[in-house]
């Protein structure tokens, strides 16, 4: 037996010696649903409040037909944008600048040259002011396109808004990368001074579709 095998054998023996006689049952009593119904006017108002608290700018539209005008207004100064391959074309009908679809994938320097990115979201959490991007979703795309441009515009539908974190987790597919976004990118340096834009966009606009 080599020294490595001997060490591993001792570790396994110690692990087995400390094993409980019967399986440990962990009681999980946390809430699995939120106080507000998914997609309701109340949960959208709560999401609006928490997103704003995280320094995102929220634009409310009643129906998806209003998304194009909202996007055009938000991007009135953007000369070029990048979008995921499957982003709905109707959302871009009011925008007059250059639209670059990330298919085939753009290089990092190409992403750095555009002014903004538009995506959808797989789910949003009202209690925490968070939305989640799934890289496998065609209207959200790979993570790089939402990290490199300095301005992110996210369109969130009412049906995708839930109140609590457990409700959101239940909707997610963990087999592909997920990105949780709570406000524009921000962190603090060693003196606790706020620094923005280190890990992602400094500006975040959310177009919230629903009552």
In the predicted model, what is the mean pLDDT of residues 87-110?
94
Domain spans, the chain: 3-209
Instruction: Please check the confidence at residue 198 and state whether its pLDDT lies above 80.
Output: no
Domain 3-209 has CATH 3.30.70.1290: no
HSE-up of residue 53 (Cα within 13 Å, Cβ side): 11
- pLDDT tens sequence across 54-74: 999 999 999 999 999 999 999
* Residue 151 near residue 197 (C-beta atoms within 8 A): no
Q: In the chain, count of helices (H) and strands (E)?
A: 6, 12
Instruction: Please check the confidence at residue 137 and state whether its pLDDT lies above 90.
Output: yes
* Residue 210 near residue 204 (C-beta atoms within 8 A): no
pLDDT band at 200; cut points 50, 70, 90: confident
In the predicted model, what is the mean pLDDT of residues 179-202?
83
pLDDT band at 24; cut points 50, 70, 90: confident
Cα 10 to its chain centre, rounded Å, is 45
Q: Is 28 exposed, middle or buried (0-12, 13-18, 19+ CB in 10 A)?
A: exposed
Q: Quick one: pLDDT at residue 115?
A: 96
Instruction: Please check the confidence at residue 196 and state whether its pLDDT lies above 80.
Output: no
Q: What percentage of the chain exceeds 90 in pLDDT?
A: 80
In the predicted model, what is the mean pLDDT of residues 38-50?
97
């Amino acid at each position: 037996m080599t020294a490595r095998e001997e060490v591993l054998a001792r570790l396994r023996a110690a692990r087995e010696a400390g094993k409980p006689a019967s399986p440990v049952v962990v009681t999980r009593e946390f809430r699995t649903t939120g106080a507000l119904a998914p997609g309701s006017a109340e949960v959208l108002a709560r999401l609006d409040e928490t997103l704003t608290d995280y320094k995102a700018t929220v634009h409310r539209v009643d129906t998806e037909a209003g998304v194009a005008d909202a996007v055009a207004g938000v991007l009135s100064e953007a000369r070029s944008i990048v979008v995921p391959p499957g982003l709905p074309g109707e959302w871009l009908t009011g925008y007059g600048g250059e639209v670059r679809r990330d298919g085939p994938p753009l290089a990092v320097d190409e992403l750095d040259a555009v002014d903004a990115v538009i995506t959808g979201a797989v789910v949003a959490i009202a209690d925490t002011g968070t939305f989640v991007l799934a890289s496998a979703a065609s209207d959200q795309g790979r993570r790089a396109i939402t990290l490199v441009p300095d301005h992110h515009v996210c369109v969130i539908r009412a049906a995708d808004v839930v109140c609590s974190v457990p409700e959101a987790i239940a909707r997610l597919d963990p087999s592909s990368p997920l990105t949780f976004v709570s406000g524009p990118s921000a962190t603090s340096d060693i003196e606790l001074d706020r620094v923005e834009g280190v890990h992602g966009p400094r500006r975040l606009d959310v177009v919230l579709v629903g009552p």
